[in-house]
Amino acid sequence: MRYLCWHASKGILSQPNLVLHGTVEKDPNGDKAEYIFTHGEWTYSLEQIVTKDNPTESHIFLEVEDQAHKKSTWKMEALPLPKYLRPFK
């Protein structure tokens, strides 16, 4: 799995500013998936947790950890896909 990132002033057709390679760990119950990427001394973990009472809703958390195991965690907000990435109707 790869994560690509561009500066806001660049488009997705230009060279990405950051490329991370990672792995996926999925919970057997299907209510949690964790995407783990490393870059140098940093580990980035993106965790998606599906709400049990509403399976169409999920919560996304980003955790960044350095080599000394200092962590920062943020709750992310899901954004809709841009029109050019949506399926044709």
Please check whether residue 58 lies inside any domain of the structure.
yes
Residue 63 reports pLDDT greater than 90: yes
CA-wise closest residue to 52 among 33, 29, 24: 29
Residue 48 pLDDT class (50, 70, 90 cuts): very high
Q: What is the mean pLDDT of the chain?
A: 88
Q: Is residue 73 part of a domain?
A: yes
Is there a domain that residue 61 lies in? yes
Helix (H) or strand (E) holding 4: strand 2-5
Residue 4 covered by a domain: no
Range of the domain at 48: 16-78
Measure the CA–CA gap between 69 and 58, rounded to whole angstroms. 27
Please check whether residue 88 lies inside any domain of the structure.
Answer: no
> Does residue 45 have a pLDDT over 90?
yes
pLDDT at 1: 87
Q: How many CB atoms lie within 10 A of CB 61?
A: 14
Give a yes or no: residue 22 inside a domain. yes
Residue 89 has pLDDT above 80, yes or no: no
Q: Is the dihedral of CA 40, 68, 43, 63 positive or negative?
A: negative
Residue 9 counted as domain residue: no
List of residues 6+ apart from 64 with CB closer than 8 A: 42, 43, 44, 45, 71, 72, 73
Q: Is residue 64 domain-resident?
A: yes
